[in-house]
Amino acid sequence: MDLNFTPEEEAFRAEVRAFARSAMPPEIRETVERGEHVDRNHTIRWQKILHGKGWGAPSWPREWGGPGWDVVQQHIFDEEMALAGAPRQLPFGLRMVGPVLMKFGDEAQKRRFLPRIPSAEDWWCQGYSEPGAGSDLASLTTRAERKSDRYVVNGQKTWTTLAQHADWIFCLVRTDSSVKKQEGISFLLIDMKSKGVAVRPIELLDGSVEVNEVWLDNVEVPIEQRIGAENQGWTIAKYLLEHERTNIANIGINKRELERARRLARTKLRNGRPFAEDPLFAARLADVEIELMALEILNLRVLSEARARGAPGPMASMLKIRGSEIIQRIAELIVEMQGSSALVTRSDGRLAPEPAMYLNLRKTTIYGGSNEIQRGIIAKHVLEL
């Protein structure tokens, strides 16, 4: 298996890098490089810039407005954008419901929803987790009752990322309680402006609002907004989560944050000398760098196999575990170098970017299916236990 990039792929990397340098608004890049939250306006502005270039949906086929790149080109694009200080593109439309629509949606649904995602006309959020159904997602209780040509939905979703900005939410709902729990779930698309939808923000430890509760009180959803057949939702959910877990490796973001840790280690002092000159700290930094190099090799192996076979399979779980653990370790090193200044709040009552990032990244080993669940998948499908 050859894991080296071809000359054509290196030329593509140079093209992406040059575009990122020339097209990136400085204020957006500076916000990302400081480790601060990127607001809604910045996210939409950057998405529209990419869409204007024809790169708004890097993983999509040309048929639906994508560039038609293969998985290696997508990897190169993601890495170069992260290293250039670009904000993450919203995954909920591009990487989650978009691929679901392409595979399971009918033609009318595709024509209605897909073009509005890369153009940033629609902002999507994910309605999966509930207070009693997180990693055990099949235990969800949000109920959708069929009434003629529509469903009436009642229930609650929680930890819904950026729902306060969303135009639409894709939801797993229970449509049959008389069968095995995985077999009674359907996949609905719900307009966030529908009567009965209420969003209640959850303030995080750093004072920001990123996740929300979404309450659904007798929300009417037309039947044409169901994706796939009734009670096919679990099959769709598994397909979606496989896409989500592949992206959680975040090679480019890990590289960018590791470089930030290196810069801080050269300038931040402990006992009068830079952290980089402390042998124990330098060894920890080097250990993380080695782990990231190994993760990148694993990611390239997965990409090579995906190019040949079309799906990453359980290897996506390996990427999810290692990528999420490495970014947490980098954040720990960065916040350690801040010392007591990490405890100081700003004038607006929020934490500085470094401790805020550290706290925010504690969730990475939980979302997208907790790492404990991923280890179970690996044991079952890779080790054949």
At 1 the pLDDT is: 56
Residue 336 pLDDT exceeds 60:
yes
Residue (of 31, 60, 34, 59) closest to 46 by Cα position: 31
For residue range 252-302, what is the model confidence (pLDDT) as tens digits?
999 999 999 999 999 999 999 999 999 999 999 999 999 999 999 988 888
pLDDT at 312: 63
The predicted pLDDT at position 343 comes to 78
Question: Where do we find the tokens 């196999």?
Answer: 305
- For residue 81 the two structure tokens come to 């954008």
Of residues 196 and 375, the one with the higher pLDDT is 196
Chain position carrying tokens 């990693």: 135
pLDDT confidence of residue 87: 94
Domain segments of the chain: what residues? 7-89, 124-231, 248-381
pLDDT band at 246 (very low <50, low <70, confident <90, very high): low
- Residue 208 pLDDT: 85
Q: Looking at 79, 80, 210, 244, which residue is catalytic?
A: 244
Q: How confident is the model at residue 136 (pLDDT cuts 50, 70, 90)?
A: confident
Q: Could you report how far apart the first and last alpha carbons of the chain are, in Å?
A: 27
pLDDT value at 340 more than 90: no
Active site residue 372: no
Position with higher pLDDT, 348 vs 330: 330
Radius of gyration of the chain (CA): 21
User: CA 300, CA 296: separation in Å to the nearest integer?
Assistant: 6
Specify the pLDDT at position 252.
93
* Total residue length of the chain: 385
The reply to whether CATH 1.20.140.10 applies to domain 248-381 is yes
Collect all residues with Cβ–Cβ distance below 8 Å to 4 and sequence separation of at least 6.
none
Q: Count CA atoms within 13 Å of residue 141 on its CB side.
A: 8
373: pLDDT strictly greater than 90: no
pLDDT tops 90 at residue 157 = yes
Which two tokens mark 281?
């700290």
In contact, 142 and 171? CB cutoff 8 Å: yes
Read off the pLDDT of residues 1-24 as tens digits, 9 standing for 90 and up: 567 899 999 999 999 999 999 999
Residue 313 has pLDDT above 70, yes or no: no
Rounded Cα distance between 252 and 120, Å, is: 23
CATH superfamily of 124-231: Butyryl-CoA Dehydrogenase, subunit A, domain 2 (2.40.110.10)
The per-residue pLDDT of the chain, averaged, comes to 92
| Segment 68-90 mean pLDDT | 94
Q: What is the pLDDT of residues 183-224, one digit of tens each?
A: 999 999 999 999 999 999 999 888 889 999 999 999 999 999
133-147, 162-176, 322-336, 350-364, range with the lowest pLDDT: 350-364
CATH superfamily of 7-89: Acyl-CoA dehydrogenase/oxidase, N-terminal domain (1.10.540.10)
